[in-house]
Structure 1
């Protein structure tokens, strides 16, 4: 039996979403086989000549994904290293679990290249939202049976009761079976769901690695890294094997406990019982409010936010104990804006906010902000209310307020009447600083999905001892069941009302993020600072060289010194883009917010199909590069007659420091030079879009997971020519 041709192997091993799944699998051609593949063992798979030919054309990859999953699940975890009999309960489950994973992968990847053969309909059934009936499973079984190791194909026929048992198992396991890119998208809200037109979610990123894109979007969200995907894939496979033994929730609860323990260790906290996991920073806001309402004097809460327009859209609603979207991590439909049941004890939470910018966009002085904060805290306390005061570190454009000395003064002045929570969801901080805040009695919100470049929607609230102790005597609002599970909270009396079902998507996303956090931790702090400085200095200079972008000055974060710390650096470079048609005179008229959002989308799209074959832009690496940067932030602008401008952002994240494993051979200097070159290309693409604004606006290209194929470019050219004719 011949080995696969190199072109077939590269069709999937060169893909980052399959490289880690394939591991050490050995694939060979099975001449004359009518079946697409057959699994011989956990390490050996036979591929038909027809499938090998399709793979050489980059097609039919989902079949290989099926083979790899089936081999992995049939592998015996025992000492003998054999295979699980498909006639056993566990073996039958493995066959259908592998098939469902392949079917979901097929839905992501497309079912092209299957030749003229009629597609079996089992992938459509197994990719559906509901587990099939026993009768349907019995019809599918003969289509899957031939893919198994030959000594196991000719066993006894399965009795109907076996399919009844299988259907019941699939019913309770259905949501937990699938590839990593599917499971990581669960347990958030609608913003995590992929747009079928683009293969990307609301944030313009993917739960599959996207190494061909220039990614500087850590101030918003990033596609999962190769390192993170590999870590999540390991955890997912552990979960799949546990499901075969009906131990899925037990293993997930252990994983949740391990994530909380690892986060506690990373930030120097006593244990995982000082960590609450949450799908997002906005969900963290709900947790913080719930604990603030357990204040020792049982007073109603006044929640003081800093610049909510520079944090998250739903934060003001969450800060009031209200549903902040139409869905949650656990419910498909909730009444957005309505009070969440159980919040507001013993009176409704009221929300106040303090802006960071004046109407003209300039930053408000720190002393003025401190005075306003003190006045609002004092008014609330005089009105008989408990205060939950936020510190913002950092805003979407890199601002920090109130300063450290102000918070220390407030702690002495207001004592137990004022809780302080640090919104550090950007997580652009050395761990020692965070642990110092927690020891000082402040809770801290962090995420693994901003600076650390983990997948979007993984947040955590770090608890000081005073907050943690409240959980042993208080009770959480019953409405939090729609947002959180018991395994995501410390072991305590307060969480008794929460569900026992673990948010598997959240755990896998945090697993991916923790892989990036550990990689960053392995880089010495002084080296981290040097790498960040090299990139940020070069990109700042590149922005200054261009007339069509204007850097927004951001103050250096005012922090007490820690030896070798890098978190006093400005790592978010926010800039305005000159509006098309502006003549480049002394005044600078920026893009409005709506136009900046268009530009943001077009940067993440392959623009080559916009141009004809005869135009140089068609061959341009600039037009074809997918550029993912930070979403536009609304900032006031005196040049727009009261309209808001949109500030785009190029941000330095942890992945820039530690690099991807596949880049290790490049060396740090070469790798950073490539990152700087990519950032310059982002700026060049902005200029290209400005030059062709009206034309691109008519076409309105969508972002895509991957660049356009040659066939797509040819198709676009033909359609353009036909339109011209």
Structure 2
């Protein structure tokens, strides 16, 4: 990259982490004499012209357009016209995503047309072409051109696949993935673009992508688009689906007889596990025993009954939350085993184990096939029931020839892959995600199938037909039972998983002993910092009780949960924030408050720092009778161990020390917010992707 030829303004745009990843090593130069926004050189280089020297939003748009056109010209040199329109479509969508305003004045007349839901007609494509043609090398007289009707037909097939990676990753989930144009963030307060200036300890909920994850998703998108440009869309998508399944299987050590089902979320995994349990021999109704569903996902109890758990599905279909999904039995019974008592205290493990065994025994004797859960781990890091209790519950029964199915909810993924392998060896299903501990984007889950359960797909009745609203057949292992599902692919899910797999690979490269030591020192620092603050109350960390494993990092409690003292608490008392107020605090932490707090506050320096932590968990508290409190969470994720590209060149010890200092900055901002609660409540500020008046170099965490 010829950075020395670029203006300071262009350099600031190139410092954007998303554009830096996309640019890679491509040569970029500036020619002030060029009256076009840019031109792609025959060797693939990008020359930017005079029109890019305007507002940063305009500069970013033209640079994104140029980078997309350059790569597509290399991908399909024989189809330059098609590549030109594909690049224009992606650039147009990028413009509205980047500005966050649908009414933003477009830098070119074709932008709103190419950003529309529907492909423009042949005559409109002809009108747009003169604006696009000069941006690339002159087309050969012998080839490269096609008729506009031919072009229209090609684009019609490509249209649903076109767009920036960050737009496509927001598809194939549910409404929580949608980015709010006003904030640049989704329901979880995170972004599908890198956000390295934000302090992030949110891996118990969801994380914004790192540059590493973004690069993984971008590579997958371009692979899909390359296949599509050459008329092999389905083959390319099938290859990506199979590749994601194979990489997940390799990470957790699955055999060829086992299987991976891709799922948008852990809640979808619950639905799939129920469908597979219902296929157990005997055809009996299922008794589904959940462990602490209040500490898993809000939709899990509905999915566990075979009901729609939201008003839309991952395939974008409108459904009725709570209604039975076609093909699932109405006689499914769900029972819950809580892990906390009425005051929010953790129940004795022996009590949880005993209740689990008792319920399993009762359901089996009532003629039900039991689907039994092990929660590894909950939102606050709890593990139950114990392995001995599960073995007892699953032991052969004189009244019941079939053993229960067990599914391990390991959606937090805070366990060594060898633990997952051990679960599969027991014949248990395992739910995992790439979006919690691994810090991939939200909504990428998978259900891992042991061989015996995998074989249930080979014959017999099809899966419930209603699963077709949620999943495609290529997301499942091959089998006669999945033929009821529609053909097609969840492109957003594929891209999200490719981002997560990049993080998983980075963590796998770190020796287990190093992982253990880095987590141990960081967690000790977090615990000490919370304990020093009289306005915070730490929930006692509960180390997961696991079998011996050399340098077992997953025996450490990697989620630190705490209550925050309410601003109107009486002197000398600790009354925690109720859940609604804890949710406000959670959002304000992720907000630039610099224009709302007094400059003379001792913590005013952290007002503009964006801090993303785990969403508050609703828990009972003895000092808040009759009302649920909200426990906030600071979580250690994979990136804490492996680092990320924005940390390049930092000594690991120094980097972890910086992470510990960032915990203090988060908690300093908590104190700042509580002191100015009334002022902030009146203003009700909104979260944003960037602090106000962003300058990348100035806002990277110190």
Q: Same fold (TM over 0.5)?
A: yes
Show the counterpart of 1:321: 306
1:438-493: per-residue Cα shift (whole Å, max 9, x none)?
01111000000000000000001111111011111232111111111111100111
Would you say the 8 A contact 1:617–1:623 is kept in 2? no
| Larger deviation, residues 680-689 vs 227-236 | 227-236
Asked if 1:516 corresponds to 2:503, the answer is yes
Matching residue within 478, 481, 484 for 1:491: 478
Would you say the 8 A contact 2:375–2:408 is kept in 1? yes
Would you say the 8 A contact 2:251–2:417 is kept in 1? yes
CA drift of 1:6 comes to 4.5
| Aligned 1:11-410 pairs, distance under 5 A | 11-41=12-42, 43-51=44-52, 53-54=53-54, 59-75=58-74, 84-85=77-78, 90-110=79-99, 119-149=107-137, 151-152=138-139, 162-271=147-256, 274-344=259-329, 348-410=331-393
Would you say the 8 A contact 1:265–1:271 is kept in 2? no
1:647-671: per-residue Cα shift (whole Å, max 9, x none)?
0000000000000023131110110
1-structure distance, mates of 2:75, 2:502 = 27
Show the counterpart of 2:449: 463
| Larger deviation, residues 352-361 vs 24-33 | 24-33
Asked if 1:454 corresponds to 2:435, the answer is no
CA drift of 1:9 comes to 3.9
Would you say the 8 A contact 1:611–1:618 is kept in 2? no
2-structure distance, mates of 1:433, 1:678 = 31
Would you say the 8 A contact 1:588–1:639 is kept in 2? yes
Would you say the 8 A contact 2:354–2:389 is kept in 1? no
CA drift of 1:63 comes to 0.5
2-structure distance, mates of 1:272, 1:643 = 49
* Matched residue SS, 1:520: helix
1-structure distance, mates of 2:680, 2:618 = 23
* Matched residue SS, 1:638: coil
Asked if 1:685 corresponds to 2:673, the answer is no
1-structure distance, mates of 2:582, 2:152 = 50
Would you say the 8 A contact 2:10–2:59 is kept in 1? no
1:176-213: per-residue Cα shift (whole Å, max 9, x none)?
11111011111111100001111000000000000000
TM-score, with structure 1 as normaliser: 0.92
2-structure distance, mates of 1:489, 1:34 = 52
Would you say the 8 A contact 2:327–2:466 is kept in 1? yes
Q: Structure 1: which 5+ runs fail to align? A: 78-83, 712-725
Q: How has the CA–CA distance of structure 1 residues 373 and 710 changed in structure 2, closer, same or farther, with 3 Å as cutoff?
A: closer
1-structure distance, mates of 2:49, 2:373 = 61
Asked if 1:472 corresponds to 2:458, the answer is yes
* Matched residue SS, 2:623: helix
1-structure distance, mates of 2:623, 2:662 = 30
CA drift of 1:59 comes to 4.5
2-structure distance, mates of 1:329, 1:69 = 28
| Aligned 1:433-582 pairs, distance under 5 A | 433-474=419-460, 475-582=462-569
Show the counterpart of 1:719: none
TM-score, with structure 2 as normaliser: 0.94
1-structure distance, mates of 2:323, 2:106 = 50
2-structure distance, mates of 1:292, 1:48 = 62
Q: How has the CA–CA distance of structure 1 residues 609 and 291 changed in structure 2, closer, same or farther, with 3 Å as cutoff?
A: same
* Matched residue SS, 1:11: helix
Q: How has the CA–CA distance of structure 1 residues 617 and 139 changed in structure 2, closer, same or farther, with 3 Å as cutoff?
A: farther
CA drift of 1:157 comes to 11
Q: How has the CA–CA distance of structure 1 residues 60 and 664 changed in structure 2, closer, same or farther, with 3 Å as cutoff?
A: closer
CA drift of 1:156 comes to 9.3
* Matched residue SS, 1:573: strand
2-structure distance, mates of 1:118, 1:433 = 53
1-structure distance, mates of 2:116, 2:497 = 27
Would you say the 8 A contact 2:121–2:152 is kept in 1? yes
| Larger deviation, residues 32-41 vs 662-671 | 32-41
Q: How has the CA–CA distance of structure 1 residues 632 and 454 changed in structure 2, closer, same or farther, with 3 Å as cutoff?
A: same
| Larger deviation, residues 172-181 vs 216-225 | 172-181
CA drift of 1:409 comes to 2.0
Q: Structure 2: which 5+ runs fail to align? A: 696-702
* Matched residue SS, 2:575: coil
| Aligned 1:558-637 pairs, distance under 5 A | 558-585=545-572, 587-611=573-597, 615-617=599-601, 620-637=604-621
Show the counterpart of 1:656: 640
Would you say the 8 A contact 2:258–2:450 is kept in 1? no
* Matched residue SS, 2:54: helix
2-structure distance, mates of 1:323, 1:593 = 26
Q: How has the CA–CA distance of structure 1 residues 39 and 710 changed in structure 2, closer, same or farther, with 3 Å as cutoff?
A: closer
* Matched residue SS, 1:574: strand
* Matched residue SS, 1:326: coil
* Matched residue SS, 2:183: coil
Asked if 1:424 corresponds to 2:410, the answer is yes
CA RMSD of aligned residues (A): 2.2
2-structure distance, mates of 1:22, 1:339 = 48
2-structure distance, mates of 1:675, 1:272 = 42
1:15-46: per-residue Cα shift (whole Å, max 9, x none)?
11011211122222334333211111353122
1-structure distance, mates of 2:535, 2:338 = 28
CA drift of 1:12 comes to 2.7
Show the counterpart of 1:698: 682
Show the counterpart of 1:709: 693
